[in-house]
A and B are shown apart, each in its own frame.
Chain A
């Protein structure tokens, strides 16, 4: 992330009295104390040392919210104008920290335990057993390999999206109609898409796509028969939903290119093909990288279509990691193992994305 240097510089003279500061501190520490006490009481009850009559962990949640509010208020009381500035970022930061960091830490604990939600025994640490189980779980490795395959399909999606964006950017009539029409697939819910396209339109007997395939000479159209075909179908359906997304972003990039550069190339005698490859495409490189990165990020979350159309079948061939873990939980309520798989997936993603970002950063830096 580039550092934005253009900050608003404000000098204010705050007259914060000692009493106000003391009140602010008292508020922050007092609410923290309340939170600590409530949490302690609940932990004691959970471990069986005392009974305060709590049925859920809600009181701790309320105490936490109270603490968060007091923290924000205390900032203003203690630091005056600077506290008000902190108030812009603090709520969002608190929200994200409490919604991501805390569950992630909690998830780490779950990941190394044997925990089946439907069994009465509850949670028990089992060390690295889950990791060992994962190592020999062919289905998980298959799902990871599938993610690589699905991600590679982005290259084709990108090419199609780029072509469509070029068409939309050229001199055409009814541009608004085509833009709205091309945008439509993005608006549709993946679940509805998987039912109406994956199940209905690809139905082997009456589905229009199957009939079209028969017209084109494919004897017995089955879109989910073989693993390769099923994977391809999933890729196509996912591409159908997300090509508009890439197309719009590329279109925005195309429209930001100054027209005179392309005109200069034309005056210099460049044909359309060369003009594209030597002027437009290089200029679009930063936008393209952003688009592809975001698309990869979205692709790594791919699950809805797979869960609803194939449920991973045939034989786990189309599973993405997310859909695999979803079924792992749905079928076996195995929280511990599922969480470990998800954690491993996260680590792999972070490593892969970091490498990709470093590489593209070096590769795409403009060399003037």
Chain B
């Protein structure tokens, strides 16, 4: 038996205990907040596999509390026994899903296209439109953020009615583009400002035109920023409810509108509600997990100047 020669002094042990309790507190708070963030998603998933009595008893853990049944998914036509059969509900759901995908992708793409061009121009050239200088034009674009959607909603309702754009995807795409454009310009301005202009100068000396330099030199460098802006716009447009609820009725409904309109005559069937909600949030959960880097990059771009 060997005798331990070096001992920690009591002071050091106290520090260690304090450090340890600090760790416990930090991880405790982190785990608590993670539960707060994730539990609703868990609840949505498990509820979609419940039957009425399971919901009423508030069972939480599948296979232990209750036996999972695919009742909720059957009501969407997506359960194992109905997936190969004809299903009008599924048709309906897929149509809404498709509408959401199209509007979100197109409006985000359009916003990134218009916004990147504008942001590049504003960060590289000096303009004069009448009394407006560069800073005024930037402010004009960014000030659109302040505009609450409700101000535009009713005029657009009337305008779209006379333009026969009500209840069309194009109408929604145009409006969504407008709502995310300031955010895209904000992110992209930051991106372009970080690219040294010497790169373009070199390209111009080598005989490229301004647009050529933009497309071949600047765009590849700014691509991560563009992806970030695109993803952020995608999140906002996918979840948009207000305009979709006002401006669409039967053809161009997006998923949030479909989720919101699920009130059955004999009470709410929570299981199908949960299945539908989960199907609506699933794409963004996937994007959030896979592309988290870009989302954070996009949001961070504006914060730190």
Residues in B whose Cβ lies below 8 Å from that of A172: 26-27, 30
A79-93 interface code vs B (CB 8 A; 1 in, 0 out)? 001001111110111
* B interface residues, tally (CB under 8 Å): 111
Interface string of B15-57 (1 = CB under 8 A from A): 0000000000011011001101111110110010000000111
Stretch of B69-77, B219-227, B287-295 contacting A (4+ beta carbons < 8 Å)? B287-295
- Expressed in whole angstroms, the minimum distance between the Cβ of B274 and any Cβ of chain A is 7
Residues of B within 8 A of A44 (CB): none
B contact residues around A58 at 8 Å (CB): 163-164
B288 to A326, Cβ gap below 8 A? no
Residue from A186, A196, A291, A294 within 8 A of B274 (CB atoms): A196
Contact partner, B201, options A8, A55, A89, A286, Cβ 8 Å: A8
**Shortest beta-carbon distance, B222 to chain A, in Å?**
13
Whether A208 contacts B200 in the complex (CB less than 8 A), given A89-B118, A249-B303, comes out as: no
Inter-subunit contact A96/B141 (CB<8 Å): yes
Partner-A contacts on B (CB < 8 A): 26-27, 29-30, 33-34, 36-41, 43-44, 47, 55-58, 60, 114-115, 117-118, 120-127, 129, 133-135, 137-142, 144-159, 162-164, 174-175, 177-178, 181, 185, 193, 197, 200-201, 204, 209-211, 214, 235, 238-239, 241-242, 245-246, 255-257, 259-260, 262, 268, 270, 273-274, 277-278, 280-281, 284-285, 287-289, 292, 295-296, 299-300, 302-305
* B151, B211, B214: the one within 8 Å of A107 (CB): B151
CA A176 to CA B174, docked complex, whole Å: 36
Q: A57-B162, A240-B36 are in contact. List 4 more A-B contacts (CB 8 A).
A: A2-B135, A85-B210, A199-B268, A301-B242
Identity of the chain B residue whose Cβ is nearest the Cβ of A166 in the assembled complex? B26
Interface of chain A, main secondary structure: helix
> Which of A151-159, A342-350, A359-367 is the interface stretch?
A342-350
Interface size counted on chain A using CB atoms at 8 A: 104
**Interchain CB contact under 8 A, B159 and A343:** no
> In whole angstroms, how far apart are the Cα atoms of A106 and B151 in the complex?
11
Q: Beta-carbon contacts of A5-42 to B below 8 Å, as 1s and 0s?
A: 01110100000000000000000000000000000000
A118 CA to B214 CA in the complex, in Å? Answer: 51
Residues of A with Cβ closer than 8 Å to B?
A: 1-4, 6-8, 10, 55-58, 61, 81, 84-89, 91-93, 95-96, 99-100, 103-104, 106-107, 110, 117, 163-164, 167, 170, 172, 176-193, 195-197, 199-201, 205-208, 211, 240, 244-245, 248-253, 256, 286-287, 290-291, 294, 297, 300-301, 303-304, 307-308, 321-322, 325-326, 329, 335, 338-339, 342-343, 345-346, 349-350, 353
Q: Is the CB of B235 within 8 A of A8?
A: no
Q: Which residue of B lies closest to A286 (CB)?
A: B305
User: 3 closest pairs, A vs B, by CB?
Assistant: A88-B121, A252-B300, A92-B118
Minimum distance in angstroms from B288 CB to a CB of chain A: 4
- The answer to whether A180 and B174 touch (CB under 8 A), given A1-B142, A8-B200, is no
B154 CB contact (under 8 Å) in A3, A195, A342: A342
Taking a contact as CB atoms under 8 Å apart, the answer to whether B146 and A107 are in contact is no
